[in-house]
Chains A and B, each alone.
Chain A
Amino acid sequence: EDQVTQSPEALRLQEGESSSLNCSYTVSGLRGLFWYRQDPGKGPEFLFTLYSAGEEKEKERLKATLTKKESFLHITAPKPEDSATYLCAVQAGNTDKLIFGTGTRLQVFP
């Protein structure tokens, strides 16, 4: 069965303290791995799609990387406005549906 696991469940950082979020997956025929940011009371906001091992993408303080078993979302020098839940999802096989992990709740303190 396709599965996506995110860790840690929650992460508290001081402003400027860099860290990484992990997304490990077990799927048959990965087509894409997606990262989203979700603020309380809002829908997920698209961040990145990664398609193959070794691929990296960056956006401001965020960088996403992909291996054959997991993805990392690196946050460099985070700011309080980076506080949110970060969701990882995979698309696999011959379907366009996304399978989501349970998310990492990030809090960045000034």
Chain B
Amino acid sequence: SAVISQKPSRDICQRGTSLTIQCQVDSQVTMMFWYRQQPGQSLTLIATANQGSEATYESGFVIDKFPISRPNLTFSTLTVSNMSPEDSSIYLCSAMTGEQFFGPGTRLTVL
């Protein structure tokens, strides 16, 4: 298994600003993932982040809006850029260590 932490746990931001979410895994992993969970809905994959390569984005998500960094095998960041109220959501990171484990999420509210 893997223990995954995220920072911040929650934030309230003004529209037009950007927020960077950090994800730390307690072991080295090849693949990390970023998901979005909108209120009352299930999880939607934003992108897959492999160390040493560009992130792979799902349909409907673009790098300019959600830039991702993956500097090493235990850490990744997701930035939500030029935020609008529609970006209010829970953002979750996960990692593959045999199974896929999730962090506790970052609850983002955009005013």
From the candidates B31, B42, B96, B104, name the one contacting A102 in the complex (CB within 8 A): B42
Residues of B within 8 Å of A96, CB to CB, are 31, 48, 96, 100
A21 interface residue (CB < 8 Å to B): no
Q: Dominant SS at the A interface?
A: loop
> Considering only CB atoms and an 8 Å cut-off, how many residues of chain B contact the other chain?
21
Does B80 sit at the interface, judged by CB under 8 A? no
Residues of chain B lying within 8 A (CB to CB) of residue A103: 42
**Which A residues contact B (CB, under 8 angstroms)?**
34, 36, 41-46, 49, 87, 89, 95-103
Contacts of A42 in B (CB 8 A): 104-105
Sort A-B residue pairs by CB-CB distance and give the 7 closest, nearest first: A43-B102, A100-B42, A100-B43, A102-B42, A44-B102, A43-B104, A43-B105
Q: How far is the CA of A87 from the CA of B100 in the complex (A)?
A: 13
User: How many angstroms from the CA of A99 to the CA of B48 in the assembled complex?
Assistant: 13
New contact pairs (16) apart from A34-B99, A95-B48, CB-CB < 8 Å: A36-B102, A41-B107, A43-B92, A43-B103, A43-B105, A44-B92, A46-B1, A46-B102, A87-B43, A96-B48, A96-B100, A97-B33, A97-B48, A100-B43, A102-B41, A102-B42
Residues of A with C-beta under 8 A to B104 = 42-43
Q: How far is the CA of A36 from the CA of B92 in the complex (A)?
A: 14
* Assembly CA distance A101 to B37 (angstroms): 12
Given contacts A96-B48, A97-B33, contact A46 B99 (CB under 8 A): yes
Q: Which residue of A lies closest to B30 (CB)?
A: A96
**Which B residue sits closest to A99, measured CB to CB?**
B45
